[in-house]
Structure 1
Amino acid sequence: MTHPHPIPLVHASLGEQELAAVAEVFASGWPAGQGPKGKALEAQLSRRYDAHAVAVSNCGAALHLALLALGVRPGDEVIVADYTFPAPAHAVRYLDAVPVFADVRPDTHTIDPQAAADLIGPKTVGIIAVDTVGLPADYRELQALADRHGLFLIEDAACAVGATYQGRQAGALAEVACLSFHGRKGATSGEGGALVATDAAVAADARLRSSFGIGSIFDQSKVVGLPVPEFTEVGYNFKLSDIAAAILQVQIGRIEELLARRAAVAAHYQRLLADEDLLTLPQVPDDRTHAWQSYLVRLDDRIDRAALAADLRGQGIGCGHGTWATHLQPVFETKQTCPVSADLFHRHLAIPMHAELTTGQVERVVAALRTALRTHRTTTA
């Protein structure tokens, strides 16, 4: 008996349009960063978010640059959403500042504004909210909290390009937002990111630091004469190549189509699993929309998650653990507790979610999942 074709957990929707865009870059002779395609992408993002956009190598770089531009110093405390890929906490640590972990709401899995409020102290300088796996956080409450205490607010919209909150685009929900174009996102160039800022000075600071502090070599190459840049401060090599920028121009243009396909997959899962009592489905409040970077189901605590995952993978069905309870990661050495985040970390299961899933594949995933749930349910005394 042969196994059916595998159903991957993630799959990038890259095709002929993207290849044609890359061919244009090859013909141009400028594949490196901050060239014409990079500038065009930044203009496209600036229009989309009505703010200043800086294309960078990844979202982690955008977070690092945002904290630098906002003046974070060693010893400062930054409140970060706990249930997420740990990039925000890493970025805080890059500056020898202290990440303080805020628990998340049990329904949306986004940062709990009250948990954040309870953590504010004399050393607190800002908050990094995360749009958890594509669902925007509570920015009205978070912005009010930040304003009340004189804190900055960063939106980590890594998973949420195309989502909305109270009619506004994710990526435009705070003074600074950080985007990701990693391979599993709704729009992707394999790797890539952007910083979006309402303040032109913040964007300019990030752009300069992203290229070792000397600005665009492409621009300098157009100057008659021989300009020799001076290095006046330590910068970083966080540029996005024009190859990636060209791919992203196409992907951003396709974002509504690609997200509609992801939303259709999510709706199909919702219909097929609505009556399944051994798991809890994602919840989306009425005032926001989800970008569906991932589809996470919370397993009943009687389910042996590891055995269930091994069963599904053995059938060629991709799955994963969800995301991380950051405070539990050894690198951060904290005594804080975030019980909601910790519970989600141990019970969430990611099942296949991407724009290329067919109706038949979704039905096969659901059938296998239902059977595996009963196979791997433990009995309690």
Structure 2
Amino acid sequence: MSRIDRVPLVHASLGEQELAAVAEVFASGWPAGQGPKGKALETQLKERYGAGGAVAVSNCGAALHLAMLALGVKPGDEVIVADYTFPAPAHAVRYVGAVPVFADVRADTGTIDPQAVAELIGPRTVGVIAVDTVGMPADYAQLQTIADRHGLFVVEDAACAVGATYQGREAGALAEVACLSFHGRKGATSGEGGALIAADPAVAEDARLRSSFGIGSIFDQSQIVGLPIPEFTEIGYNFKLSDIAAAILQVQIGRIGELLQRRDAVAARYAELLGDEELLTLPRVPADRTHAWQSYMVTLDRSVDRAKVATDLRAQGIGCGHGTWATHEQPVFETKQKCPTSADLFRRNLAIPMHAELSMDQVEQVAHTLRTAVRTHTGSVRRAA
């Protein structure tokens, strides 16, 4: 198959505007972190989300780690985390010596089930990390009510959801602390990168200090006349985002509306082409929210052999993936918990190409190939029907 026929699962929308922004950084002489471009990005994010503070960091995992530290999570504490997701929230809880407690998810949205959260709260519970699953915001009104009742914090893992909304508010502004990702498959990207958004300026400042080994911005110190010598007052980390990445993100954040509109069009066309296929369930978006479409995941009928479908798609140059993870089943966490809905989605979801660079011809190619594959690889009971 020729290269032009291939349809990648993901593709970043980077171009001349981003290159020009990088050239400015090269000319400035400061490509490292927490410089002028980093500060400008943080101001842009703070204003966009109406936050008390924003901290640009190396990735969303770093933002989640810093959130746990800034919120005072201690060894032995329990933090309830959404189960059906990339396992970064559970990792962040473990980084600080706390215990992740896995909450099952809604079957229709894949987002954390508030009732499951309520049932898991115990004497050692200190907070909840909700996840906007592959771009779908969670049920924050219900989650916040539960958290307020028990004196818990709520962190929004909005890694996949830049541009999505919930009850008219933008993902990234739906909890007291939110963590964003700017990985290469996200709606706004610098290849790698992340941010912590906090309602409380003190939480943001704590995260900013810890993100730079506990001594703050070397760029700021270099602007002071004299020779200030910083003191290391906290154990910190090297989680800074380079000014090169920050410059790219300033452009990308400004393009979110344009890029999301293109993803919306892809999702709408998939719905038209695949909505009548009985062997697939398409994503459902509740009326009170919008989707960022970081991924487009279909749920296969239980009679369909997902591995064989994926093999067919990839053999024809169409990218696909398993979706995301049932975290409680991962060996590293050694838990005896059960999250049956998450486990079921983990086995039946299939991610198909979704990005702003897809043409409608490619979308139609994917839909046709997928429909043929699921019908070819369904069980004998379904075939007989």
Q: TM-score range by the shorter chain?
A: over 0.9
Residue 10 of structure 1 is matched in structure 2 by 10
Q: In structure 2, give the amino acid aligned to 1:280.
A: T
5+ residue gaps, structure 1, are none
The 3-state SS of whatever aligns with 2:341 is: helix
Pairwise CA RMSD = 1.0
How far 1:380 sits from its partner (Å)? Answer: 4.1
State the alpha-carbon separation in 2 of the partners of residues 57 and 5 from structure 1.
34
Determine the structure 1 residue equivalent to 2:145.
144
Q: 2 CA distance for matches of 1:159 and 1:256?
A: 15
What SS does the aligned partner of 2:127 have?
strand
1:349 counterpart residue number: 350
Decide whether the 8 Å contact of 1:4 with 1:316 is kept in 2: no
Q: Which residue of 2 aligns with 1:54?
A: 55
* 2:174 match: secondary structure: coil
Give, in whole Å, the separation in 1 of the partners of 2:235 and 2:71: 16
5+ residue gaps in structure 2? none
Q: Summarize the alignment of residues 161-310 of structure 1 with structure 2, pairs less than 5 Å apart.
A: 161-310=162-311
How far is the alpha carbon of 1:5 from its aligned partner? 1.4
Alpha-carbon deviation of 1:214?
A: 0.2
Residues 202-223 of structure 1: CA deviation (Å, up to 9, x unaligned): 0000000000000000000011
- Structure 1 residues 216 and 3, CA gap change in structure 2 (3 angstroms): closer
The superposition leaves residues 290-318 of structure 1 with CA deviations (integer Å, 9 ceiling, x where unpaired) of: 00000000000111111110110000000
Structure 1 position 232, deviation (Å)? 1.6
CA contact (8 A) 1:210 1:237 kept: yes
Aligned to 1:106: 107
Aligned AA (1:379): S
TM-score (norm 2): 0.98
What residue number does 1:378 align with? 379
Matched, 1:363 2:356: no
Structure 2 match to 1:21: 21
More displaced 10-residue stretch of structure 1: 226-235 or 64-73: 226-235
Aligned partners of 2:353, 2:268: CA distance in 1, in Å?
13
* Mapped partners of 1:165, 1:58: distance in 2: 24
- Secondary structure of 2:80's match? strand
Secondary structure of the structure 2 residue equivalent to 1:37: helix
Question: What is the CA-CA distance between 1:2 and the residue it aligns to?
Answer: 5.5
Distance in 2 separating the partners of 1:223 and 1:114: 53
Secondary structure at the aligned position of 1:341 is classed as: helix
Q: Which amino acid aligns with 1:352?
A: P
Alignment: residue pair count = 381
Q: Residue type of the partner of 1:131?
A: D
The one-letter code matched in structure 1 to 2:106 is R
1:265 partner amino acid: V
Equivalent residues of 1:211, 1:239 under 8 A apart? yes
Alignment-derived partner of residue 87 in structure 1: 88
Equivalent residues in 2 for 1:128-139 (5 A)?
128-139=129-140
Q: What amino acid does structure 1 have at the position aligned with 2:94?
A: R
CA-to-aligned-CA distance 1:61-118 (integer Å, 9 cap, x gap): 0000000000000000000000000000000000110000000001111000000000
Quote the offset at 1:165 in angstroms: 0.3
| Identical residues among aligned pairs (%) | 81
Residues 320 and 243 of structure 1: CA distance in aligned 2, closer, same or farther (over 3 Å): same
1:355, CA displacement in angstroms? 0.1
SS in 1 for 2:84: coil
Residue 4 of structure 1 and its aligned partner are, at CA, apart by: 5.8
Q: Distance in 1 between matches of 2:368 and 2:320?
A: 14
What is the distance in 2 between the residues matched to 1:233 and 1:321? 40
Q: Deviations over 1:228-272 (max 9, x none)?
A: 111122100000000000000000000000000000000000011
Query: CA deviation digits over 1:133-192, x for unaligned, max 9?
Result: 001000000000000000000000000000000000000000000000000000000000
Structure 1: 4+ residue segments shifted above 4 A: 1-4
Contact 1:3 1:315 in 2 (8 A): no
Show CA shifts across 1:24-49 (max 9, x none). 00000000000000000000000000
Q: Report the CA distance shift for 1:228/1:3 in structure 2 as closer, same or farther (over 3 A).
A: closer
Measured after TM superposition, the shift of residue 379 of structure 1 is 1.7
Distance 1:2 1:210 in 2: 45
Query: In structure 2, what is the Cα distance between the partners aligned to 1:113 and 1:209?
Result: 32
